[in-house]
Chain A
């Protein structure tokens, strides 16, 4: 499906008042709030790299292009796209941007909104908006690019995007260190990571169960990736020795962390100010204490912990919801079993300004109604 066809489909849906569920590769169809739509709009066939100029470190691709395809194209030129959503590279560029899913490299390389330079999207009224551009710095006009990225399709269907690439580092190494997962110890760990004279390429804390599933032993582990020239990497690793007994880990750990969960898992993120990462982690762990299958991981640099629980009848979602509402911080819900959504309040786009924006871009609520609390 191309942009013209998407415009036609959107206009028709609007006339008929038949809302659309927007989908990419379909790898994560349960994600987000249940959408009140019978029709669907799939971008899976709208794929392909439209433009790639390695010298500019920019790439333009249709929304249905899988991240794995972009990875293959860019690696051939010693480059990479710093988008590494949970779930792996089978998903599409469009879905990654629409959900603004940030992976383990986000602290070092930016959130999805920082990676996108421009987007083409189709609004709920069938207008084609071409926001931003293909250059790495641009302040022309009001920023519609960042607005539509992370709006989960509720402001427009992303059909194409231009993203910023990075050159692959000369060398990268990954180590794992066992750490004390007690609250104050983790607060101290977050402070120490931030105080390092370099920014690690990635630093992710794994719960004992997750570490065990990844073959790293059964205790809480900090996995850190450092990158740069050979001497820089050696010097960074030397400083990390202060964090404990480090062992080398194969670089594929970063894709394994992202693919260890099943697509039908409940996934929530808990966040608050980074210096209190230990409190975030403790709250997230307590919420799933006793759930055998629960995995917890998080970014001490960003103050975010993520809880993953495979869908199962035995999960007491009510308990999770109560724990979340008692948490003094920000909760972002990625996914829940369908009936569980009724038990939680997750309406981050329900404030007056966000509602007014939604009303401008999709006045008849054709696109993904229900997601983010947008009606």
Chain B
């Protein structure tokens, strides 16, 4: 780690005020990790601008000083994307203004630090909500959601973050402020919004984001179906999708998850002897909705469901969801650390993959709890463990590696909504060809030719052409912020 540069600290303080620049080790510790357990990376400076102009001034200052930086929202990311080692951490959580709401066109312009559910709360009076709903939605920020292209249970029907961003203004790493997309008409040129959303902080910093708001559904029906085998639950998932019914959410939890939830304060009344439960939500137009509910119930029974419970009121609905939304918290009770993994497989491969995950976890003697977005094949195999125990940590990492390789082997992806960050870097070579990774590097170089924004994340540096031409990235790598896959 490089020593903080005192002139840089002074210059940053002159922009944002002394209180908003942290450089003492004791203060920086609070920013040494994100939602990925087992890693502690300490930035050398953390700076927290409070306005858009301050963000631009800070980024320009960092450009002038040729210093790498890592943008950070709420720090809830699960792939280590917000970890900053020996570089500047740029915190954006003070930019909390909802700039404008256009209820007629169902659009809102927000600053990056606006918390996901705060936006929904502010637009409830118009009968609208912001659809992407990651589990961390009560604390995570829209800026972070944009960086990671975050998902959530309701993305099955409503789409991920990218499907809800129509335009944005960003400051590029060199300090240039630019806008992409079109909030008031068609997007005619290249899809720069599509490039920026999900770029994990490597393409610059969003200053404002124009998002779509979803009309609140007229009616909602929530069901819990319980199964004596994962296989029959997976068959029910396929049958529902094949029927042309697009649920708002279609979530699966396996036996270890059910038991963890039921043993916790978040107990939702899930049957503890079930091998799997499906939490199914249908929403939208009231007309005919109950016919779809009846169809889903029938499809679940045909697939082998022991029972299907339809929530009778909002209280029951909230309770059924609580178990799902707090499943990670419930697992946290069991073990000091929890890896919340993320991978995607073709839906038809779910039964076989879940069976193999079970075999892998037995082989490595680790506790895997599966709670995931079954409707789109987005797995979350979670492993509770003690990161202080080197033997257990090694077994957990080996099991995770095999699970990821399994998902790649069946034609899946290494991440559906958490991003690559640091955690998944090592798998990028297995998922993509070297020419494809080089093309990704090329795209990054358009936005950040010096590779100073979130250096060393997303694409392994060794796969970039002309890699020697980027001294700042090389320096960052030498400092340990970049961990190219071996």
A231 adjacent to B411 (CB under 8 Å): no
B185 adjacent to A329 (CB under 8 Å): yes
A137 adjacent to B439 (CB under 8 Å): no
Q: Does A184 contact B (CB under 8 A)?
A: no
Which residues on A sit within 8 Å (CB–CB) of B378? 137
Which residues on B sit within 8 Å (CB–CB) of A231? 287-288, 291
Which residues on A sit within 8 Å (CB–CB) of B459? 141-142
Q: How far is the CA of A111 from the CA of B56 in the complex (A)?
A: 33
Q: Does B416 contact A (CB under 8 A)?
A: yes
A141 adjacent to B458 (CB under 8 Å): yes
Q: How far is the CA of A235 from the CA of B287 in the complex (A)?
A: 5
Q: Does A260 contact B (CB under 8 A)?
A: no
Q: Does B160 contact A (CB under 8 A)?
A: yes
Q: Mark B423-443, 1 if CB is under 8 A from A, else 0.
A: 010001001110111111011
State which residues 400-455 of B face A: CB under 8 Å: 411-420, 424, 428, 431-433, 435-440, 442-447
With contact pairs A55-B238, A114-B163, A140-B420 given, residues A135 and B440 touching in the complex (Cβ less than 8 Å) = no
CB of A163 to closest CB in B, whole Å: 14
With contact pairs A129-B439, A137-B155 given, residues A142 and B195 touching in the complex (Cβ less than 8 Å) = yes
A135 adjacent to B416 (CB under 8 Å): yes
Q: Does B295 contact A (CB under 8 A)?
A: yes
B344 adjacent to A168 (CB under 8 Å): no
Q: How far is the CA of A249 from the CA of B96 in the complex (A)?
A: 50
* Contact among B184, B197, B295, B446 with A229 in the assembled complex (CB-CB below 8 Å): B295
Q: Does A297 contact B (CB under 8 A)?
A: no
Which residues on B sit within 8 Å (CB–CB) of A356? 446
Q: How far is the CA of A132 from the CA of B431 in the complex (A)?
A: 10
Q: How far is the CA of A351 from the CA of B431 in the complex (A)?
A: 32
B344 adjacent to A143 (CB under 8 Å): no
Q: Mark A291-308, 1 if CB is under 8 A from B, else 0.
A: 000000000001110000
A351 adjacent to B189 (CB under 8 Å): yes
* Contact among A137, A302, A332, A360 with B151 in the assembled complex (CB-CB below 8 Å): A137
Q: Does B348 contact A (CB under 8 A)?
A: yes
Q: Mark B147-173, 1 if CB is under 8 A from A, else 0.
A: 011010001000110110000000000
Which residues on B sit within 8 Å (CB–CB) of A53? 346, 348
Between A138, A191, A236, A330, the greatest number of chain B beta carbons within 10 A of the residue's beta carbon is seen for A138
Using CB atoms, name the residue of chain B closest to A346: B188
Q: How far is the CA of A23 from the CA of B443 in the complex (A)?
A: 25
Which residues on A sit within 8 Å (CB–CB) of B428? 140-141
A354 adjacent to B192 (CB under 8 Å): yes
Q: Does B292 contact A (CB under 8 A)?
A: yes
B191 adjacent to A150 (CB under 8 Å): yes
Q: How far is the CA of A171 from the CA of B186 in the complex (A)?
A: 31
State which residues 239-272 of A face B: CB under 8 Å: 269, 271-272
State which residues 286-326 of B face A: CB under 8 Å: 286-289, 291-292, 295
Q: Does B182 contact A (CB under 8 A)?
A: yes
Q: Mark A342-369, 1 if CB is under 8 A from B, else 0.
A: 0000001101111011001100000000
Q: Does B2 contact A (CB under 8 A)?
A: no
Q: Does B477 contact A (CB under 8 A)?
A: no
Q: Does B469 contact A (CB under 8 A)?
A: no
B287 adjacent to A236 (CB under 8 Å): yes
Q: How far is the CA of A349 from the CA of B191 in the complex (A)?
A: 10
Q: Does A206 contact B (CB under 8 A)?
A: no
Interface residues on B, range: 35 or more
Using CB atoms, name the residue of chain A closest to B161: A139
Q: Does B183 contact A (CB under 8 A)?
A: yes
Which residues on A sit within 8 Å (CB–CB) of B243? 167
Q: Does B199 contact A (CB under 8 A)?
A: yes
A271 adjacent to B186 (CB under 8 Å): yes
State which residues 14-73 of B face A: CB under 8 Å: none
B285 adjacent to A139 (CB under 8 Å): no
* Contact among B149, B188, B412, B435 with A332 in the assembled complex (CB-CB below 8 Å): B188
Q: Mark B327-356, 1 if CB is under 8 A from A, else 0.
A: 000000000000000001111100000000
Q: Mark A121-152, 1 if CB is under 8 A from B, else 0.
A: 00100011111011111111111101101110
CB of B344 to closest CB in A, whole Å: 4
Q: Does A54 contact B (CB under 8 A)?
A: yes
Which residues on B sit within 8 Å (CB–CB) of A140? 413-415, 420, 424, 428, 431-432
Q: Does B80 contact A (CB under 8 A)?
A: no
Which residues on A sit within 8 Å (CB–CB) of B390? none
Which residues on A sit within 8 Å (CB–CB) of B160? 137, 139
Using CB atoms, name the residue of chain B closest to A354: B190
Q: Does B275 contact A (CB under 8 A)?
A: no
A55 adjacent to B347 (CB under 8 Å): yes
With contact pairs A197-B218, A273-B105, A361-B442 given, residues A147 and B188 touching in the complex (Cβ less than 8 Å) = no
Q: How far is the CA of A302 from the CA of B212 in the complex (A)?
A: 13
Q: How far is the CA of A126 from the CA of B199 in the complex (A)?
A: 25
Q: How far is the CA of A170 from the CA of B245 in the complex (A)?
A: 9
Using CB atoms, name the residue of chain B closest to A197: B218
With contact pairs A140-B414, A141-B458 given, residues A330 and B182 touching in the complex (Cβ less than 8 Å) = yes
A113 adjacent to B191 (CB under 8 Å): yes
Q: How far is the CA of A113 from the CA of B458 in the complex (A)?
A: 22
A232 adjacent to B458 (CB under 8 Å): no
Which residues on A sit within 8 Å (CB–CB) of B182? 330
Q: How far is the CA of A60 from the CA of B376 in the complex (A)?
A: 17
With contact pairs A113-B191, A134-B346, A142-B458 given, residues A275 and B105 touching in the complex (Cβ less than 8 Å) = yes
Q: Does B10 contact A (CB under 8 A)?
A: no
Q: Does A194 contact B (CB under 8 A)?
A: yes
Q: Does A155 contact B (CB under 8 A)?
A: yes
With contact pairs A232-B287, A232-B289 given, residues A360 and B442 touching in the complex (Cβ less than 8 Å) = yes
B440 adjacent to A141 (CB under 8 Å): yes
B420 adjacent to A141 (CB under 8 Å): yes
Q: Does B3 contact A (CB under 8 A)?
A: no
B411 adjacent to A349 (CB under 8 Å): no
13 residue pairs A–B, Cβ–Cβ below 8 Å: A78-B242, A123-B439, A134-B411, A135-B377, A135-B411, A135-B416, A137-B416, A141-B436, A235-B286, A329-B184, A329-B185, A353-B192, A353-B447
Interface residues of A (CB under 8 A from B): 53-58, 78, 110, 113-114, 123, 127-131, 133-144, 146-147, 149-151, 155, 166-170, 191, 194, 197-198, 228-236, 238, 269, 271-275, 302-304, 329-330, 332, 348-349, 351-354, 356-357, 360-361, 372
Q: A143-B162, A329-B185 are in contact. List 8 more A-B contacts (CB 8 A).
A: A56-B347, A129-B435, A135-B416, A167-B244, A275-B102, A330-B186, A353-B180, A354-B192
Q: Which 10 A-B pairs have the closest CB atoms?
A: A235-B287, A232-B288, A167-B244, A146-B194, A330-B185, A348-B189, A271-B185, A231-B288, A198-B285, A55-B348
